[in-house]
Amino acid sequence: MKQQQKLALALILPGLMLSGLASATHSWNNYHWARTSNPLPLIVVDSTSPEWSSELDATVNAWNASKVLSLTPVQGETDSRTRKRCSMVTGQMRVCNAAYGQNGWLGLASINLDSSGHITKGTAKMNDSYSWYWTSEEKNHVMCQEVGHVFGLGHTSEDGTSQGTCMDYSSDINSQWPNAHDYEELATIYGHLDSYNSYATGSEPPSTCKGRKCNSRAFGLGHRIYGNEHFEIWAEAEEDGTLTLHHVYLADGHEEH
């Protein structure tokens, strides 16, 4: 690991140790996209197969009920190689599904943070290798939650009880979509404006994915910061001085049958 990467981790790891814990406000360490006005006009690059397209459309529509978000889905590449790599697009969110392997996770949300701690790009991945788990309700729940993490939301609870939101860890039918508390939390997180924009509009730029960064990983790369029976958070210092965080929705307890 290069010296600047070690320094980035040394500076940020203490603050991350509690970033995965649920709270009444369920902000994920107050991470958010920088913008000079609301709502946030974020492009969502759709790199899902037809089996997940309707869930993504429904998730985008549900989160667009927030007054501080203005999500625009755009069609991205959907070949199996693109979906497995699910490369980050600067200033945008990409959503993918693929058979990432029976590696312990159902969903994986990743965000990249700049030197000011603002989100600059993100991905949400759904793991088709657990096909026996994916009922229609669970597809909605996990898709909605992983996308919610990319906005900077954490969990409303982690004990398996239903809070009537996709940001809990319940299999209740009422836990498929955001609720009023999620929209209130987004309004709080995005209640102040920034001096610059970390999002980007327009068409998807050419991929800059190279080498090992293109490969799917069980838990991302870097250092494990937090974990319990439901999820883990990993932090990865990048060569450019930024930090990538991975929020892993674990498959523990969901055995094949």
For residue range 104-142, list pLDDT tens digits in order.
Answer: 999 999 999 999 999 999 999 999 999 999 999 999 999
Helix extents (H) in 100-200 = 136-151, 180-189
| Domains detected in the chain | 3-250 (3.40.390.10)
Amino acid code (one letter) for 148: G
Element (H, E) at 11: helix 3-16
Strands 43-47 and 231-237: unpaired
Lowest mean pLDDT among 50-59, 192-201, 216-225: 216-225
Q: Are 110 and 83 in contact (CB under 8 A)?
A: no
Residue 107 to residues 24, 94, 140, 219: CA-CA distances in angstroms?
A: 23, 13, 12, 10
Helix/strand/coil for 227: strand
Exposure string over 218-230, b if 16+ CB within 10 A, otherwise e: ebbebeebbeeeb
pLDDT value at position 142? 97
pLDDT value at position 204? 55
- The two tokens of residue 114 are 């700049």
Element (H, E) at 206: none
Q: Are 195 and 207 in contact (CB under 8 A)?
A: no
pTM of structure = 0.87
200/195 Cα distance (integer angstroms): 15
213/49 Cα distance (integer angstroms): 22
- Which one, of 223, 70, 210, 211, lies nearest residue 151 by Cα? 70
Over 90: is that where the pLDDT of 7 sits?
Answer: no
Cα dihedral: 171, 244, 126, 228 (round 10) = -30
Chain segment 31-71, per-residue pLDDT in tens = 999 999 999 999 999 999 999 999 999 999 999 999 999 99
Q: Would you call 122 exposed, middle or buried from its count of C-beta atoms within 10 A (0-12, 13-18, 19+)?
A: buried
Q: Are 162 and 137 in contact (CB under 8 A)?
A: no
Nearby residues of 11 by Cβ (< 8 Å), 6 or more positions away:
none
